[in-house]
Structure 1
Amino acid sequence: MAYKFEIMTQEQAEDIAHNWHYDGEYSFYDIEADEEDLAEFLDPETRGNSMFAVLKEDEIIGFFSVNKVASNIYDIGLGMRPDLTGDGRGLEFLNAGIDFVQSRFTPDNITLSVATFNLRAIKVYRKVGFKDIDTFMQDTYGSTYEFLKMVYEC
């Protein structure tokens, strides 16, 4: 069954923010871990039409954000439900997201940023065809972390 992307509802945002908790170092991705991220994620105006719930067989399995950052360049952010991570589903999920972005927005390039410790995600991104651009430091979750900026040429 195919993935379905729909504008995220307030109920879905609250469920993800308050009930999705990742294990170990991946708890970095818990939305409640950063007050600013939590506030933005829960604010319908901030989410606007750029945050999508991803469903498979009418069950929410992840989320995908899409934001235009330059002429025909779109930046994405994504997350899978914690109980679905780490067992090989990421490649299919990411490919579905790329297909969605390409069909809806027809970008020239898709970019994303990922914490450099997240080798599991970086491996999937590279396998799909994302290329490393640069690293940068960002203040988040009460500390400063290194991130890798990547690009996918459509």
Structure 2
Amino acid sequence: MLYLKEMDEIYAEKILSWKYEAPYDFYNNEYSVEAVQEMLNHSYTAILDNQDEVFGFFCIGESAQVPIGADFEAYPHGYIDVGLGMNPKFTGRGKGLSFFTFILQQINEVHGVVPVRLTVAAFNSRAVHLYEKLGFVKEKGFCRGDIKFMTMVKGA
């Protein structure tokens, strides 16, 4: 059972300390005051499990976009952008479908049934497969340095 909590400094610090195994170590964050402050900007929500452990988080809006994507016109209006992260303790264990379904349900409860867009690193085939399973389709690709990203969208 998952539930939402308002992002606070303690949750943000826990999330920023997560370390993923290669090749997912790309998603590791550096702790900084600025990183904590970004997570406290009211676009991030913590997701806890029934043991009150931080299971993951999601963010919406500009916080969910890769900034350079705007240079490639990857973010036209008309979508709610969503970003997400799962505690590395739970990744690769078949929990992604229920986790992301829970996030999509939360977005629908707040915003109604709306078109949703996410941005994913193209090498993350595990995530891409999950998003396709939930009806997302690949839309726009762009690169930041050596990393190729793509947006994926799901209509209302």
Common topology (TM > 0.5): yes
Structure 1, unmatched stretches of 5+, are none
Tell me the TM-score normalised to structure 2 length. 0.83
2:56 maps to 62
1:149 maps to 151
Task: Look up the equivalent residue of 2:98 and give its one-letter code.
Answer: E
For the residues of structure 2 that align with 1:40 and 1:147, how far apart are their CA atoms? 24
Cα distance, 1:71 vs structure 2: 5.8
1:122 maps to 128
Which residue of the other structure, out of 22, 43, 46, is the alignment partner of 1:24? 22
1:92 maps to 98
Tell me the TM-score normalised to structure 1 length. 0.84
Q: Choose between structure 1 and 2: higher helix proportion.
A: 1
Using the aligned pairs only, state the percent identity: 33
For the residues of structure 1 that align with 2:11 and 2:58, how far apart are their CA atoms? 12
Within-5 A mapping of 1:66-85? 66-67=60-61, 73-85=79-91
Q: 2:44, 2:60 within 8 Å by CA — same for their partners in 1?
A: yes
Equivalent residue pairs, number: 143
- 1:113 is paired with a residue whose SS is strand
For the residues of structure 2 that align with 1:43 and 1:49, how far apart are their CA atoms? 10
What RMSD in Å do the two structures reach over aligned CA positions? 2.0
For the residues of structure 2 that align with 1:49 and 1:90, how far apart are their CA atoms? 24
Which residue of the other structure, out of 15, 36, 42, is the alignment partner of 1:49? 42
Q: Decide whether aligned partners of structure 1 residues 39 and 111 sit closer, same or farther in structure 2, where only a CA change above 3 A counts.
A: farther
Structure 2, unmatched stretches of 5+, are 63-74
> Once the two structures are superposed, what CA deviation does each residue of 1:110-143 show, in whole Å capped at 9, x if it has no partner?
10000000000000000011111111112xxxx4
Cα distance, 1:108 vs structure 2: 2.2
Q: Runs (4+) of structure 1 moved beyond 6 Å?
A: none
For the residues of structure 1 that align with 2:78 and 2:113, how far apart are their CA atoms? 5
Q: Choose between structure 1 and 2: higher strand proportion.
A: 1
